[in-house]
C-alpha cells in the first residue's frame, strides 16, 4: 500500500509563532517514532512518505497538496498532547478532502486518551501502545478488507460505538526493528539548539524504551514502567550507520534515561570504544546512578555532555513528585561532570503542584549554585492520565487544563495555589535571565570558543536571550 505518515503542526494556526526557545526544543530532532514506523512498513513492501508539517511549518492546504500528489491509500498521524488540537483539526480537513481514505491516529496522546475518538469521527482507527507491528497488521486488514477485531492494540468505531481490541504485548527484543527511516524526513532541517552544538552534523538516536521511575508528571501509558534496551552491539551499529550514511559527527541519545543501571552503561561505552568510532555523543542521566569513575568511562568513549533531570531545588517538592533523588546527589554528580568537562546541563520545571514562590526561588538559586553550563526550563503541564493530573484540583487552578490548544510546556495551564499565571510566566523568564546573565555562565561558554563557527552559534543563543528579555520587559510593562 501507499502510506502517508504525518507529524502535525504543534499549533493550529500557522501564523502563530512558538518563539525561539520552543522551536529549538521541539524541532531539534527528527520524529523518530514515525521513522521507526516508516522503516518497518518499507520492510514489508509498503511505499511510505513522511510529512513533517511541524518542522516545515506546513499549513493544512500544503499538507493536502502533498497528499493529493502522493495519493496514499492510508494516512497515519502521530498525536502528542501538545499537538492534539492541531492534529484533530488537520485530520478533519483531510477527511473532508479525502473522505474515502482511512485516517489512523497513534502516539502517546491516543494511547492515554483513546476514548477521545468517540468525539472525533475524522479519525477512523486509533493505534495504542507500540505501533510498529500493529500498523503493519492493520494495513494488511485494510488491504484485504478484513475485520479489525483480530489486530491487537486498536480502538475503532463501529455502529457509532468505540470498540477496543486486546492490548498488544511489548516487543520483547528491540533488535528486531530496522533503523529509523531518516531518509524519509528533511534531515537537514533538524538542528540542535545553539548551546547543544559540538560538531555538525548532529542527529538523534533512541537506545531504549520506557522508564522504570515513578515521577508523577510523566505520561508512561505507552511503555508503562517496563524498561527495554537495544543491545550494545545494535546501538553501536546504528551509530556507525549514522556516521557512514549521514556523515554524522555528534549523536544525541534522547532516551528518557540513558543510565537506569551501571551495567548497561558500561557495556555500551565498552562497545563504543571497541568499535573505534570517531563520533561524540550526549545523553540524559539520573543523579543517583553514576559515579565519577563511570562518568570518566563515558567521557573516554566520546561523551561530551550529560543532561541531568533535576526538576526542583526544594527537597519537599522532589519527594512529592517522586523524583527519587536528593539535592546532595544532584550537586555531587554535577560537580563530577564539571570536573570531567562533561558540560553538564540541568533540566528544571516550575509550577509543580506544591510549588510556591519560595520553592521556585529556591530552585532558581539552586540552579545558579551548580556548575551547570546550560539549563532547560519547562512549565509543569499535568498531562491526562498522569498521577499529578488526578491530584491537580486539590493544589491549584485547573481551569485551563481541559483546553488542549493551550498545552505547550512553556505557558501555564495549571496554576499552583498562591501564584498567578502572570507570576508563573515571570518566573519562567526570570529563571533563564538569572542563570544566563551571570559572568560565571558567560565564562563557561567563552572558554569553549575554538573557531568562527562557535561564534555563530553563540550569536544565535544571544538572539534567543534578547527575545526573552524583550518579552519579559513587555510583560512587566503590560
* Tens of pLDDT, residues 28-67: 899 999 999 999 999 999 999 999 999 998 999 999 999 9
Parent domain of 218: 208-477
pLDDT confidence tier of residue 461, bands split at 50, 70 and 90: low
Domain at 76, CATH number: 3.40.50.280
Question: What pLDDT shows up at residue 389?
Answer: 93
Does position 431 have pLDDT exceeding 50, yes or no? Answer: yes
88-102, 180-194, 329-343: least confidently modelled range: 180-194
* In a domain? residue 52: yes
Question: What pLDDT shows up at residue 437?
Answer: 92
* In a domain? residue 184: no
User: pLDDT per residue over 99-136, tens digit each?
Assistant: 999 999 999 999 999 999 999 999 999 999 999 999 99
Does position 13 have pLDDT exceeding 50, yes or no? Answer: no
Pick from 205, 184, 180: which is nearest to 277 by CA? 205
Domain check: are 156 and 279 in the same one? no
Does position 392 have pLDDT exceeding 60, yes or no? Answer: yes
Share of the chain above pLDDT 90, in %: 79
Domain check: are 219 and 155 in the same one? no
Does position 23 have pLDDT exceeding 70, yes or no? Answer: no
What's the whole-number mean pLDDT along residues 224-249?
Answer: 95
199-208, 274-283, 430-439, 461-470: least confidently modelled range: 461-470
Domain check: are 154 and 230 in the same one? no
326 vs 332: CA distance, rounded Å? 10
102 near 28, Cβ under 8 Å? no
User: pLDDT per residue over 216-232, tens digit each?
Assistant: 999 887 887 789 999 99
Domain check: are 228 and 364 in the same one? yes
* In a domain? residue 288: yes
- Signed CA dihedral, 47, 53, 54, 56: sign only: positive
Pick from 272, 281, 257, 251: which is nearest to 209 by CA? 257
Does position 424 have pLDDT exceeding 50, yes or no? Answer: yes
Domain check: are 376 and 253 in the same one? yes
Question: What pLDDT shows up at residue 408?
Answer: 82
Domain check: are 57 and 112 in the same one? yes
Grid cell for residue 125 = 482507527
Question: What pLDDT shows up at residue 15?
Answer: 41
* In a domain? residue 80: yes
Which one of 13-17, 287-291, 402-406 scores highest in mean pLDDT? 287-291
User: pLDDT per residue over 129-156, tens digit each?
Assistant: 999 999 999 999 999 999 999 999 999 9
Q: Domain end: 164, 194, 221, which one?
A: 164
Domain check: are 231 and 357 in the same one? yes
Question: What pLDDT shows up at residue 149?
Answer: 95
Q: Domain end: 111, 134, 164, which one?
A: 164
Residues 6+ apart with CB under 8 A from 317: 311, 352, 354, 355, 359, 363
* In a domain? residue 101: yes
Domain at 367, CATH number: 3.20.20.70
What's the whole-number mean pLDDT along residues 379-405?
Answer: 91
Does position 429 have pLDDT exceeding 50, yes or no? Answer: yes
Instruction: Count up the domains in the chain and report the number.
Output: 2
Domain check: are 245 and 319 in the same one? yes
33 near 70, Cβ under 8 Å? no
110 vs 115: CA distance, rounded Å? 8
Domain check: are 145 and 215 in the same one? no
* In a domain? residue 299: yes
Q: What average pLDDT is seen over the chain? A: 92
Domain check: are 261 and 406 in the same one? yes
Grid cell for residue 170 = 511489548
* In a domain? residue 98: yes
Domain check: are 329 and 433 in the same one? yes
Question: What pLDDT shows up at residue 220?
Answer: 83
Question: What pLDDT shows up at residue 226?
Answer: 86
* In a domain? residue 183: no
Does position 295 have pLDDT exceeding 50, yes or no? Answer: yes
Between 414 and 197, the more confident residue is 414
pLDDT confidence tier of residue 471, bands split at 50, 70 and 90: low
Domain check: are 145 and 257 in the same one? no
Does position 205 have pLDDT exceeding 80, yes or no? Answer: yes
Does position 81 have pLDDT exceeding 50, yes or no? Answer: yes
pLDDT confidence tier of residue 477, bands split at 50, 70 and 90: low
Amino acid at each position: 500500500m501507499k502510506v502517508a505518515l504525518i507529524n502535525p503542526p504543534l499549533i493550529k494556526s500557522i501564523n502563530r509563532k512558538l518563539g525561539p526557545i520552543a522551536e529549538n526544543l521541539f524541532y531539534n530532532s527528527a520524529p523518530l517514532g514515525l521513522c521507526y514506523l516508516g522503516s518497518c512498513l518499507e520492510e514489508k513492501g509498503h511505499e511510505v512518505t513522511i510529512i513533517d508539517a511541524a518542522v516545515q511549518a506546513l499549513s493544512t492546504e500544503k499538507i493536502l497538496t502533498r497528499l493529493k500528489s502522493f495519493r496514499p491509500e492510508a494516512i497515519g498521524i502521530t498525536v502528542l498532547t501538545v499537538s492534539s488540537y492541531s492534529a484533530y483539526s488537520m485530520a478533519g480537513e483531510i477527511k473532508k478532502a479525502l473522505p474515502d481514505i482511512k485516517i489512523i491516529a497513534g502516539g502517546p496522546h491516543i494511547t492515554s486518551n483513546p476514548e477521545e475518538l468517540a468525539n472525533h469521527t475524522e479519525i477512523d482507527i486509533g493505534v495504542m501502545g507500540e505501533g510498529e507491528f500493529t500498523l503493519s497488521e492493520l494495513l494488511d486488514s485494510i488491504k484485504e478488507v478484513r475485520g479489525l477485531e483480530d489486530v491487537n492494540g486498536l480502538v475503532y468505531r463501529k455502529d457509532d460505538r468505540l470498540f477496543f481490541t486486546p492490548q498488544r504485548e511489548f516487543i520483547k527484543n528491540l533488535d528486531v526493528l530496522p533503523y529509523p527511516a531518516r531518509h524519509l524526513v528533511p534531515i537537514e532541517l533538524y538542528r540542535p539548539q545553539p548551546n547543544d552544538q559540538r560538531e555538525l552534523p548532529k542527529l538523534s538516536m533512541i537506545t531504549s524504551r520506557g522508564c522504570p521511575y515513578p515521577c508523577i508528571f510523566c505520561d508512561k501509558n505507552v511503555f508503562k514502567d517496563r524498561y527495554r534496551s537495544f543491545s550494545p552491539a545494535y546501538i553501536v551499529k546504528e551509530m556507525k550507520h549514522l556516521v557512514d550514511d549521514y556523515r554524522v559527527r555528534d549523536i544525541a541519545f534522547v532516551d528518557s534515561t540513558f543510565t537506569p543501571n551501571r551495567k548497561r552503561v558500561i557495556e555500551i561505552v565498552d562497545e563504543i570504544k571497541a568499535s573505534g568510532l570517531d563520533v561524540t555523543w550526549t545523553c540524559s542521566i539520573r543523579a543517583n546512578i553514576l559515579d565519577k569513575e563511570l562518568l570518566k568511562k563515558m567521557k573516554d568513549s566520546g561523551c561530551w555532555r550529560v543532561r541531568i533531570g533535576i526538576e526542583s531545588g526544594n527537597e519537599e517538592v522532589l519527594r512529592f513528585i517522586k523524583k527519587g533523588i536528593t539535592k546532595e546527589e544532584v550537586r555531587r554528580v554535577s560537580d563530577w561532570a564539571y570536573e570531567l568537562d562533561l558540560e553538564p546541563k540541568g533540566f528544571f520545571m516550575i509550577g509543580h503542584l506544591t510549588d510556591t514562590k519560595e520553592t521556585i526561588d529556591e530552585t532558581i538559586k539552586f540552579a545558579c549554585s551548580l556548575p551547570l553550563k546550560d539549563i532547560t526550563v519547562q512549565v509543569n503541564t499535568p498531562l491526562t492520565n498522569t498521577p499529578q493530573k488526578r491530584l491537580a484540583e486539590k493544589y491549584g487552578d485547573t481551569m485551563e487544563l481541559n483546553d488542549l490548544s493551550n498545552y505547550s510546556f512553556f505557558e501555564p495551564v495549571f496554576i499552583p495555589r498562591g501564584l498567578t499565571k502572570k507570576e508563573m510566566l515571570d518566573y519562567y523568564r526570570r529563571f533563564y535571565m538569572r542563570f544566563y546573565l551571570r559572568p560565571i555562565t558567560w565564562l563557561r561558554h567563552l572558554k569553549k570558543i575554538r573557531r568562527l563557527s562557535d561564534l555563530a552559534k553563540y550569536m544565535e543563543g544571544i538572539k534567543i536571550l534578547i527575545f526573552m528579555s524583550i518579552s519579559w520587559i513587555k510583560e512587566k510593562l503590560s
